[in-house]
Structure 1
């Protein structure tokens, strides 16, 4: 059974993570669609998956009076990341598939243009570029299915990050534990 403090903090900070990521998506949508393909917005979103869960881990460890085994630390992080990811991906699915499905075409065009400009800088052969663009157009990266696939991949990487953070935040064994 999961400790109530771990569950409460994981859920609370997970909701905060999801809301912040959804707000970032909303701002990018409202201000400029090109922000969706900017490298630094990906970095910003990734940093949210570090900072907010870290706050959850700090609060949980403090509340548990520094008795924080690895499993509890990882569980806290995982709950937070899972809920944040579900809220964020759910919001994007609603935005791109219900509220404004036309934005998918604009984002696809921006992505294709970005691929063309960066591929020429790196000397990617034109036939490879064309194949990449065709595959991109076929898959609809903003569809519900592709968003869910992306969520699974993101959850995998969040889990790896969670393992690292849990190792860092776990409490050190005391002499009584030996």
Structure 2
């Protein structure tokens, strides 16, 4: 990977991390219940894709050699890893050190939404109570669960990154 590509991936990863933190801080400051809304996931998804694709596009523009699949994926992946890592560390600190009560509030709000959804789909009362008990016992913001979430997001976005790298790569010219 070229030095400029690495620098771009790192820069855009930091931009992504800061943007995700800003979204979290704004929602935390105004209405923490918004963190349980589906559209927040969609907004974060679009932001992550936008900045990572922008990083790949810019790296391709500045590439002095053939922009390979490996280089495209590397820029994308570096952006994703750094951005998600920064946001994950921030969440870990916010919900475990700064305001553990907010984590409990989020858990309760999420449980209410999940219970309503399960009732809407006709889940029997005993199964609903069992599911709610399991969720209540789980520490959503534990280091283990946050690490699992981080790894899951990396896998998910890496699959998307493979497609993006295929789109942005340059093929070797064939000689006939």
Q: In which range does the TM-score fall when normalised by the shorter chain?
A: over 0.9
Find the aligned partners of 2:64 and 2:124 in 1 and give their Cα distance.
59
Map 1:1-178; keep pairs closer than 5 Å. Answer: 2-65=1-64, 67-175=66-174
Find the aligned partners of 1:170 and 1:133 in 2 and give their Cα distance.
47
Find the aligned partners of 2:45 and 2:65 in 1 and give their Cα distance.
27
Residues 114-123 or 51-60, more deviating: 114-123
Find the aligned partners of 2:131 and 2:124 in 1 and give their Cα distance.
11
Residues 88-97 or 138-147, more deviating: 138-147
Contact 1:37–1:111 (CA under 8 A) maintained in structure 2: yes
Residues 59-68 or 22-31, more deviating: 59-68
TM normalised by structure 1 equals 0.94
Structure 2: runs of 5 or more not aligned: none
- Residue 173 of structure 1: CA displacement? 2.6
- Residue 3 of structure 1: CA displacement? 1.6
Contact 1:17–1:49 (CA under 8 A) maintained in structure 2: yes
Contact 2:5–2:63 (CA under 8 A) maintained in structure 1: no
Structure 1: runs of 5 or more not aligned: none
Secondary structure of 1:124's partner? coil
Find the aligned partners of 2:52 and 2:135 in 1 and give their Cα distance.
33
Secondary structure of 1:22's partner? helix
Find the aligned partners of 1:57 and 1:49 in 2 and give their Cα distance.
12
Find the aligned partners of 1:13 and 1:106 in 2 and give their Cα distance.
32
Contact 1:96–1:143 (CA under 8 A) maintained in structure 2: no
The Cα offsets for residues 30-79 of structure 1, whole Å up to 9 and x where unpaired, read as 11111111000000111112100111011000001572110100000000
- Residue 20 of structure 1: CA displacement? 0.4
RMSD between aligned residues: 1.4
Secondary structure of 1:123's partner? coil
